[in-house]
Structure 1
């Protein structure tokens, strides 16, 4: 069977992420079927008909949906998911007879294409050739694929996504608690404040259920949040002490840890600020 006659099925494919990847697989020459709450095609239809089956539903529904289709899958099929967490979905997918590769696109569905976007690939039960075939589909369209275990994925995204979203939400809630008039702050804003406020607005304009699941369902988040709370407490104590030397030591410890990222961050934000000023 050639790639041009193979079928890819996306369960939950009527959502934005599903529609994005439907185009990706169609561009690669695959026939694509999608199912959703209002489609005539069902998840069972996709499980029975498609060579590649991808589950693209909210995190809280993923394991349940996988459980419904695993009895229908046969050896030779490939089962994947697009969930932001990987340990539990991959465990559930391994209950099938199909090959299993967990996927996590590290971007939102509003992007125009997957070019220069990162996709995490977690092979769980698949030959190298099959993994390479899937990676080639994405990389041929400009994506950057990173291979990881489900455990490494969840531990890393607890920082990359979880910590980032937690801190952003804390900024939003602090502003609310203080009763800050954001329109008034525009008269005082620096470029960095504008960037930070834009990140807050971007997050809060999206579905809260997604961020709740990223923060509440990742088994490594408690460890990350404990470190965050400890850091905030230490820094608060240093600020309250009004001791410049303590602050310098705190600052320099973190500067040394980030190393070259400090200079890279300066250049990146300078370029971003330049774009903002000249837009």
Structure 2
């Protein structure tokens, strides 16, 4: 059993909400999906309602629920905190799947400090499945419901990684906002260069093929989702500025006479003086620390996969 006799998943017609609704049902929870605009084919299996202004049917469902999971946009989730927590039982659990956590923590502190709450952020596409994958976890208020939900995530094969709201938002600015900015910027640069894609794929070494694969994966997603990640995270702009500063610093390293140039910035847009590319590489090796050899091995396996070979693969290109 799930530990949650009745669950309400708001936004359960979406990818993330649908994943959790399915998992909860499989675990034996009577799960009601709520959506304000579900696809036509799902209208018969969910409650069409506005979570920010619950009507009688939704209010009754919220009052009975052991778990209410908000899998909606941040603006909707924050607006829903007041009406939802007023209807929930004192011993019920509120959860969310927001990609930014600081705002929810502040809203709960201001309007529902006694509610048991956990914020979840699956760090993977729902279609990939949860098994073996990390779920960033921000606990605002501990309780038996939080413990039960985290046990369920582990039973489903997920790996809860606990963070504070600030740690979460700063970390995802790097793992999501910065990563997506790098990949999309790589694609925009390729388009500006005007190189034929068939020539690229016929001649590309493994690192380039890997970047093309990442670009293709992003392009298969929703521009709205990627844009929301960039706009909603309060640290995303800092990540993009760091990327722009780092690219300028790299250009100075490779174009300066005698190998001298500005170092990679220290994160605040400044530079630490003149150093060559050798010194920059050494600095980055120190940054990666003991993880360096682990990811070198992973890259070796990735290159073997992407070229479908059994040889040693590429090392220098």
Regarding TM over 0.5, the answer is yes
| 1:122 to 2:121 alignment | no
Look up the match of 1:83. 98
Once the two structures are TM-superposed, the CA of residue 242 in structure 1 deviates from its matched residue by 5.0
Matching of residue 251 in structure 1 with residue 281 in structure 2? yes
CA gap of 1:134–1:230, structure 2 versus 1, over 3 A, is same
Q: Does 1:225 align with 2:224?
A: no
Relative to structure 1, is the Cα distance of residues 118 and 242 closer, same or farther in structure 2, using a 3 angstrom cutoff? same
Q: Secondary structure at the match of 1:268?
A: helix
Distance 1:134 1:243 in 2: 58
Shift, 1:67, TM fit: 4.8
Report the alpha carbon displacement of residue 105 of structure 1 after superposing the two structures with TM: 0.9
2:115 corresponds to 1:98: yes
In the alignment, structure 1 residue 141 sits paired with structure 2 residue 152: no
| Aligned residue number for residue 160 of structure 1 | 175
CA drift at 1:123 = 1.1
Partner Cα distance (1:60, 1:211) in 2 = 16
2 CA distance for matches of 1:136 and 1:25? 12
| Alignment check: 8 A CA contact 1:90 1:101 kept | no
Corresponding residue of 1:211: 226
Contact 1:55/1:66 (8 A) holds in 2: no
Whole-angstrom CA distance in 1 between matches of 2:67 and 2:193: 51
Is structure 2 residue 51 aligned with structure 1 residue 21? no
Contact 2:98 2:121 in 1 (8 A): yes
2: CA distance, partners of 1:4 / 1:256: 45
TM-score normalised over the length of structure 1: 0.90
In the other structure, the counterpart of 2:263 is none
How many angstroms does 1:145 deviate by? 0.7
Which is higher, the Rg of structure 1 or of structure 2?
A: 2
How far has the Cα of 1:205 moved from its partner?
1.7
Secondary structure (helix, strand or coil) at the match of 1:110 reads: helix
State the match for 1:12 in structure 2.
11
Structure 1: unaligned runs, 5 residues or longer: none
Shift in Å at residue 262 of structure 1? Answer: 2.4
Superposed displacement of residue 93, structure 1: 4.1
Structure 2 matches for 1:12-91, cutoff 5 A?
12-36=11-35, 37-38=37-38, 39=43, 41=47, 42=49, 43=51, 44=54, 45=58, 46-91=61-106
Determine if the alignment matches structure 1 residue 173 to structure 2 residue 188.
yes
CA contact (8 A) 1:116 1:144 kept: yes
Partner SS for 1:275: helix
Match of 1:192 in 2: 207
- Paired residues in the alignment total 276
Separation of aligned partners in 1, 2:153 and 2:252 = 48
Structure 2: how far apart are the matches of 1:5 and 1:258? 42
Q: Is the 8 A contact 1:55 1:62 kept in 2?
A: yes
Q: Which has the higher mean CA deviation after the structures are superposed, 34-43 or 118-127?
A: 34-43
State the Cα distance separating 1:248 from its structure 2 match: 1.1
